[in-house]
A and B are shown apart, each in its own frame.
Chain A
Amino acid sequence: MENKESIFSPKIIKTFLGPLNQNNPISVQVLGICSALAVTVQLKPALVMALSVTIVTGFASLIISLLRNTIPSRIRIIVQLVVIATLVIIVDQLLKAYVYDVSKKLSVFVGLIITNCIIMGRLEAFALGNKPWPSFVDGIANGFGYGIILVIVGFVRELFGSGKIMGLSVIPQSFYQMGYENNGLMILPPMALIIIGIVIWIHRSWNKSLIEK
């Protein structure tokens, strides 16, 4: 390898931070919305989902980047799908083995990671044209960018929808006796969309460069 870069060069750090803020897959690119709506009723499934997607994007990017010079461009989508599907099946089996209850809750949405636009998008846009290490970082970072939003939405929905966080009751019983009630709308899918909308709103008023002219 000529012109060897250090593994934490400024460029790599930029690749890593982009998806967390300027280029967030959900709040800026608006990708992967369906799973963000479906798995965020509680925080725990949201966390597991975020982790699964991060692992799949990271390793899919790494593998595709390693293979990038040998994949004929005409069949590259099929090769990408094979790689993603293999990784998703491995993740699915791991979830079933170690966190069976969460895996039950996530149901088809683990399998549907295969069709998550974020993964395919990163492979096409980044991994096919970059070296393995930057591609891996890019994949992991996009998984994190997706995960942040999922965790925020899951946190708000579980806290106000069922008064719990990670399955533990956090709103004291005395609140309920004073007349507090859990918000039923939070459990319903539309609220996830509204919360993502609010996140986008806050994100944009904080990072003005995102506002379109």
Chain B
Amino acid sequence: MIRYIIRRLLVAVLLLAIISLVTFGIFFLLPKLAGQSTDDLAARYLGREVTPEGLAGVKAKLGLDDPFLVRYWEFVQGMFVGQEYKFGTSITECPAPCLGYSYRTNEPVFDLLLDRAPVTFSIALGAAVLWLLAGVTIGVISALKRGSVFDRASMSAALAGVSLPMFFTGLVSIWLICRQLKLLPTPRYHEFLDNPATWAQALILPWITLAFLYAAMYARLTRAGMLETMGEDYIRTARAKGLPERTVITRHGLRSALTPIITIFGLDIGLLLGGAVITETTFSFAGLGQLMLQGITRSDLPVALGVTMATGLFVIVANLVVDILYAVADPRVRLA
């Protein structure tokens, strides 16, 4: 077991290294392709007072003219030991998990990420609980009562669910529930620690909107998986042994039908933690996804880079957790 975990960990670290290198490469090389010189980038950092000396200072300070691998190495170093931007007397400290320095706000990117993360995490985790419960339950019932009214109705709803873009359902739900029916105030994010009730109230609509889409996908997947598993020979054997139907369904059927669902869940939750961009934009919540969009529209590349890296990390960690859970649940995985 320990060996399996170590092996998975090594793979995860390797993946992270590849993703960070590719991401960094794209952010480093594309501005050049776009015909932006390092002077343009430095000018952005300076703001209004652009002087040749200032430009040279910024370039030297941020190491903008250094070759690619040097910059990448410094970036990696920054993540572990922090970084110090130095030019003459002007010294900027970027403490340990340093993901770079925002051109625009003059803050370490890591602080910005910490600032925005609670919003995105609140949206993603709450919705995940909802969609996993709803999606899997509906999928299982549909599969067991195949062809019934419930099955037809829920599968039609699921098909509509996967065909509706989230930003449309989000806008319609605000319009209908907050404006026309006035059941809820317009969602505006509140800190959980300030007041959990207002926090939850503000998040109800984003949760439902996001969960609706994913629950629809998961219900379809679970139903297909359950139908396939319940047709297997070992299910017939389990029934023949005289096991109660409940046990057959949960212990034998659901257990193996859920395996692929959990894999996909790992990917989905990882991606969402890194920025529920569409949900955040629809409901105007200032989360990681919004930070990313701002980084792009204001050409604040270190910020965009930071969010992308963080997302890559979340996806890989989520996958790692899923892999380890598998190994706990199914001994065959460990030996493979």
Do these two chains really belong together in a complex? Answer: no
Which A residues form the contact surface with B (CB < 8 A)? Answer: none
